[in-house]
């Protein structure tokens, strides 16, 4: 257990990075996980095809909030193409712990918000089957 809730996960969930909302986001996205009532909101600012700022607010379990917080750090400075290519394994890599089937929805909620956001920016639908 001490392995599961590692210090970095607890730290990210208590002190989410890039916390808050952006004034003029290029795209905003809210996602909910009805399973446990996790909710989060992600704002992205994109300049010349690169993510320059991220705003994150949310509430929910430590896994959903920590994974989203880690992702906000991960995507800053990345190109939209790189963000579009992020996968489930990238998130699991960031978390660094085994995630069971039911908690996967928590872990991937932030990624889902980000992916839907960048797909919508290009007027495309994101099918979340791709994530799981």
Partner 1 sequence: MTQMIAPQFDLERIRADFPILHQQVHGHPLAYLDSTASSQKPALVIDAMNDFYRRTNANVHRGVYQLSEQATEAMEQARAKIARFIGARSVREIIFTRNTTESINLVAHAWGRANLRPGDRILLTEMEHHSNLVPWQIVAQATGAELLFIPVDGTGRLALDGLDRLLTERTKLVALTHMSNVLGTINPVKVIAAAAKQVGALVLVDGAQSVPHFPVDVGELGIDFLAFSGHKMCGPTGVGVLWGRKPLLQAMPPFLGGGSMIRSVGLRSSSWNDLPHKFEAGTPAIAEAIGLGYAVDYLASVGMDAIHQAEQQLTQYAVERLQGIDGLTLYGPAVAERGGVLSFNLAGVHAHDVAAVLDQQGVAVRAGHHCCQPLMELLDAPATARASFYLYTTPAEIDQLVRGLEKCKAIFG
Beta-carbon-side half-sphere exposure of residue 124 (alpha carbons within 13 Å): 9
**Binder of partner 1 out of 17, 26, 36, 45 (CB under 8 A):** 36
Phi, psi angle pair for 48, to nearest 5°: 50, 45
**Binder of partner 1 out of 16, 58, 60, 110 (CB under 8 A):** 60
Helix (H, G, I), strand (E, B) or coil at 17: coil
Q: Is 63 in the site for partner 1 (CB under 8 A)?
A: yes
10-27 burial, b if ≥16 CB within 10 A, otherwise e?
eebbeebbbeeebeebbb
Contact window for partner 1 (CB under 8 A) among 28-36, 42-50, 80-88, 122-130: 28-36
Q: Is 40 in the site for partner 1 (CB under 8 A)?
A: no
Q: Smallest gap, in angstroms, from Cβ of residue 24 to partner 1?
A: 30
Q: Smallest gap, in angstroms, from Cβ of residue 80 to partner 1?
A: 32
Mask of contacts with partner 1, 95-124, x by CB under 8 A? --------x--x------------------
Which CB, 17 or 39, lies closer to partner 1? 39
100-111 burial, b if ≥16 CB within 10 A, otherwise e?
eeebbbbbbbbb
């Amino acid at each position: 257990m001490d392995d599961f809730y590692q210090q970095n996960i607890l730290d990210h969930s208590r002190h989410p990075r890039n916390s808050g909302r952006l004034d003029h986001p290029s795209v905003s996205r809210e996602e909910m996980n009805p399973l446990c009532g996790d909710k989060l909101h992600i704002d992205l600012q994109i300049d010349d095809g690169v993510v320059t700022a991220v705003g994150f607010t949310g509430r929910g379990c430590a896994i959903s909030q920590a994974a989203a917080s880690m992702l906000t750090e991960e995507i800053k400075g990345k190109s939209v193409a790189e963000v579009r290519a992020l996968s489930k394994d990238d998130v699991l890599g960031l978390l660094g712990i085994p995630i069971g089937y039911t908690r996967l929805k928590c872990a991937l909620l932030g990624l889902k918000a980000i992916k839907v956001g960048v797909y919508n920016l290009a007027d495309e639908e994101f099918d979340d089957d791709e994530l799981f």
